[in-house]
Structure 1
Amino acid sequence: MLDAMARNRFGRLYYMWPDKRAAAAVKYCRNTVQEYVDRALAYRRAQDKTPECLEKAEKDSRKEEKGHYVFLHELAKQISDPVRIRDETLSVLFAGRDTTAGLLSGLWYELARNADVWRKLLAEVDELDGELPTYEVLRNMKFLKYCVSEALRLHPPVPILSKVAIRDTVLPLGGGPDGKAPLFVQKDSILVYSIYSMHRRKDIWGDDAADFRPERWADPGLRPGWAFLPFGGGPRVCLGQQYALTETYYVTIRIMQHFRKIENRDHKPWMEKLSVTCCSWNGVQVGLSKA
């Protein structure tokens, strides 16, 4: 069966090799999410009716939610198109599974191989004195952020992306013999760019661009701009960015609050397993102990 990366590589030609199992899997995922989208839209319709209906809907919602924030309900308040709500929800779910797992894997792969970084990060975690981290606390943990950013730089969960030009346009760079002249891009052209390669440019990151060095992010002179795109950018930036980062910060802290030592149990060189996302081919074999 052609996987998602093969589909991406074939582009429009993919449909010359139809895969019934892939189509069935896509349909199943969409239909599953659509059930919850329909419930959210029904909740919104109840809100638009009489105050009595609204009060009853909110009461039923609170009873069901038990005081929790419901993303779909908030989305349905702003968007009425069920297809768009479904697609937005799938984007968030995708960001919360494969990509976040890939980020955590890349981070712990590096922590197991860099004892100095582990000790420094452990010292920052110990400042919490075993308390559960709040969202505000997570935002203020600088070295943890540096470590996660460095893991995203070296092991971006989505290493390659492509865009289709919706109109004739001109890129500021990319043309001419030296690539520094403007470049004309015709409507419907497909542009593919390698985030993996951009994150290893020595002219931006230095001669140690291939090394895991979280301290580089403390340098105020480091301003990669569009050369650092683990979540994309612009109007189509990943919707689940903050969700994925917060989840990564929290999980990392909670693990480190329980274990004091880390051991690398895989001495093979890094090998990529590439599909829609990128992760370690050998998995992440790490040993953790409390003493």
Structure 2
Amino acid sequence: MAAMVVFLITLSVLFMIFLVFKLVFDTILCYLLNPRRIRKTMEKQGVRGPKPRGVTGNMHEMFKLTSQSTSKEMGTIHHDLVGRLLPHYVKWSKSYGKRFIYWHGVEPRMCLTDTELIKELMTKHHLVTGKSWLQQQGSKHFTGRGLLMANDRDWYHQRHIAAPAFMGDKLKSYCGHMVESTKQMLQSLQNAVNSGQTEFEIGAYMSRLTADIIARTEFDSSYEKGKQIFYLLTSLQHLCAQASRHLCFPGSRFFPTKYNREMKSLKMEVDRLLMEIIQSRKDCVEIGRSSSYGNDLLGILLNEMEKKRGDQFKLNLQLIMDECKTFFFAGHETTALLLTWTVMLLATNPSWQDKVRAELKEVCNGGVPSVDQLSKLTVLHMVINESLRLYPPATVLPRMAFENIKLGDLFIPKGLSIWIPVLAIHHSEELWGKDVNEFNPDRFNSRPFTSGRHFMPFAAGPRNCIGQSFAMMEAKIILSMLISRFSFTISQSYRHAPVVVMTLKPKHGVQVYLKPLDP
């Protein structure tokens, strides 16, 4: 008996020693050997960059440069944003060329602006590239393992399940929700004008409006709880943005910091609300009160979960909650920012505002546009595209190689992240001409552009944004109804200060003067 106890203790000690050695080896591999291997591989191909410093890589210099460039407003309203928002890109591309490698903590990232190689990456290698561990950890509390952060076959199956919710007749069915929510917002603005208010921070209105719309289309009858989830997710997003700066430090996500405690608390509250909505749907089906889980996005996901009970890929409740959070975040955030920046651009370019209004009068006779009429609003479409070019919600697109790949003349080793600076490509004089930093929607009419290479506000290839048609339909409906009801000019209190907090935002909001138009 004693011999057995000694044997078990010895075995336990050996196992612990093995775990310690494995931890040490994995740490050395992650923080020293793999980065050195990748760096040497890229240097042999002529791709160089700034020297990394310890576990923080080049993050300190990046944050310092960005902090300096965004510390003040831009003074006048202009759209030359690359030096302000991507100062490290400007500095390093001058020093090392268009292709350079830098280090976000221990994660090596290669900057790529070659549009032909970008097209090849997005279209041919979408199943062997995706989101890195560092990216997934940075957003796991508010998107979890949802479609935005899924990779490989998980991404393929999740995309296949969610796609029908954003296509054909199902997409058109959301139009009613969009119109009704917009009418309520416009009435709120009209009431404020009637009470004497003239200046409005339009970004706040757009954020509430798009949250209202996504709450209706995603949760329908559970829409009030959906709005609660929106406010919690907004707070969670800001906390994750702050905490992501420390992810390069081993085990930082387990530190008992204020950010980690608050993120965990908010995530638990969001999950609790989502579980209440989901359980209510399941209970209605189980007791026979309803024959399906509903026709909204949540209902589609729950119905698919039932269908795939025996399949190798299974939707579980946690994954459904993650998908709901993903679509809520992406579905309201990008469209709200698109609308806010577009209003700012039209408020500072009244001639284009008049052109859109004239088109609306001609096509819609001053009324609410139907789904079929939206495709005829070509001037509005050009304006939206130009807004997305100048102010893309996502300023960079990341893709990590999960295996060795060949990309044009480059060998991309496993573990290297490729970062596509969308903002820099959208503001490239070489691609767009000398007026690249001017608001000129005519560029989308007078000459062709290459979507997916020169223009990629919704990414490109099979991994493009699944909700881009939803977002464009929503933006057109809201803008057409707003422009038909009000004229607007930029307020004297507006301070032009674009910043990136995960997405491209106006630091101080967008203040405009609203004036009701005669019926």
Q: TM-score, normalised by structure 1?
A: 0.80
Corresponding residue of 1:121: 356
8 A Cα contact 2:494 2:510, kept in partner? no
For 1:229 and 1:26, the matched residues in 2 are separated by 31
Of the three residues 389, 392, 411, the one matched with 1:153 is 389
* CA distance in structure 1 between the aligned counterparts of 2:344 and 2:250, rounded to whole angstroms: 34
Picking from 249, 255, 262, the partner of 1:21 is 262
Partner deviation per Cα, 1:212-245 (whole Å, 9 max, x = no partner): 1111111353224323221222333223222222
- Scaled by the length of structure 2, the TM-score of the pair is 0.47
Task: Give the distance between the partners of 1:161 and 1:14, measured in 2 at CA.
Answer: 25
Over alpha carbons, which structure has the higher Rg?
Answer: 2
Instruction: Give the counterpart of 2:368 among 132, 152, 155.
Output: 132
CA distance in 1, matches of 2:502, 2:251: 18
- 8 Å CA contact 1:91–1:240 kept in 2: the answer is no
SS in 2 for 1:214: coil
Superimposed CA distance per residue, residues 181-240 of structure 1 (whole angstroms, 9 cap, x where no aligned partner)? x22222222222221111111121111111111111113532243232212223332232
CA distance in 1 between counterparts of 2:367 and 2:304 reads 36
Deviation at 1:10, TM superposition (A): 5.1
Show the counterpart of 1:204. 431
What are the Cα deviations for residues 142-179 of structure 1, in whole angstroms up to 9, with x where unaligned? Answer: 1111111111111111212322222111222xxxxxxx
DSSP-derived class of the 2:299 partner: helix
Aligned to 2:304: 78
Which of 295, 317, 325 does residue 90 from structure 1 map onto? 325
Counterpart AA for 1:189: L
2:339 matched to which residue of 1?
104
Give CA-to-partner distance per residue, 1:252-273, whole Å, 9 cap, x none. Answer: 11111211x3211147663212
1:287 aligns with 2:513: yes
Kept in 2, the 8 Å contact 1:5–1:274? The answer is: no
State the alpha-carbon separation in 2 of the partners of residues 9 and 124 from structure 1.
46
When residues 23 and 160 of structure 1 are mapped into structure 2, their CA distance, relative to the original with a 3 A threshold, is farther
2:191 maps to 1:191: no
Task: Report the count of equivalent residues.
Answer: 266
Local SS of the residue matching 2:410: strand
- Tell me how far 1:7 sits from its aligned partner: 4.6
Alpha-carbon RMSD across the aligned residues, in angstroms, is: 2.8
Give the match's secondary structure for 1:227.
coil
The aligned counterpart of 2:403 is 167
Structure 1's 37 and 220: CA in aligned 2 closer, same or farther, altered over 3 A? farther
Say whether the 8 Å CA contact 1:95–1:244 is kept in structure 2.
no
Between the aligned partners of 1:144 and 1:249, the Cα distance in structure 2 is: 7
For 1:187 and 1:39, locate their aligned partners in 2 and report how far apart those are by CA, in whole Å. Answer: 45
- Counterpart contact for 1:95–1:241, Cα < 8 Å: no
Q: 1:254 aligns with which of 470, 481, 495?
A: 481
The answer to whether the Cα contact below 8 Å between 2:490 and 2:511 also exists between their aligned partners in 1 is: yes
Mean Cα displacement is larger for which, 211-220 or 115-124? Answer: 211-220
Q: Is contact 1:160–1:195 with CA below 8 Å preserved after alignment?
A: yes
Amino acid at match of 1:129: N
Letter in 1 for 2:424: S
Contact 2:452/2:461, CA 8 A, preserved across alignment: no
1:265 partnered with 2:498: no
Which residue is equivalent to 2:210? none
Q: What SS does the aligned partner of 2:505 have?
A: strand
Q: Deviations over 1:106-141 (max 9, x none)?
A: 101100111211111110111212322222222221
Q: Answer yes or no: is the 8 Å Cα contact 1:168–1:186 preserved in 2.
A: yes
Task: Give the equivalent residue in structure 1 for 2:290.
Answer: 57
**Range that drifts further, 103-112 or 184-193:** 184-193
Change (3 A) 1:106 1:164: same
Structure with the largest fraction of helix = 2
Alignment CA distance shift 1:14-1:125 (3 Å): farther
Distance 1:37-1:256 versus aligned 2 partners, 3 A rule = same
Distance in 2 (CA, whole Å) between partners of 1:35 and 1:239 is: 26
SS at match of 2:277: helix
Change (3 A) 1:162 1:12: farther
Task: Quickly say closer, same or farther: Cα 1:41–1:196, change in 2 above 3 A.
Answer: farther
User: Quick one: distance in 2 between partners of 1:216 and 1:151?
Assistant: 12
Aligned-partner SS, 1:57? coil
Q: Which moved more, 1:96-105 or 1:109-118?
A: 96-105
Q: Could you tell me how far 1:27 is from its partner in structure 2?
A: 3.4
**How far apart are the structure 2 equivalents of 1:164 and 1:96?**
24
Instruction: Assess, with a 3 A threshold, how the Cα gap between structure 1 residues 148 and 189 changes in structure 2: closer, same or farther.
Output: same
**Partner SS state of residue 365, structure 2:** coil
1:264-290 C-alpha deviation (Å, 9 max, x unpaired): 114766321221111112211111212
Q: Which segments of 5 or more consecutive residues in structure 1 lack a partner in the other structure?
A: 47-51, 173-181
In structure 2, the CA distance between the partners of 1:228 and 1:186, relative to structure 1 (3 Å rule), is: same
Matched with 1:177 is none
Q: Is the 8 A contact 1:158 1:277 kept in 2?
A: yes
The secondary structure found in structure 1 opposite 2:385 is helix
Q: Percentage identity across aligned positions?
A: 24
- 5+ long unaligned stretches in structure 2: 1-235, 306-313
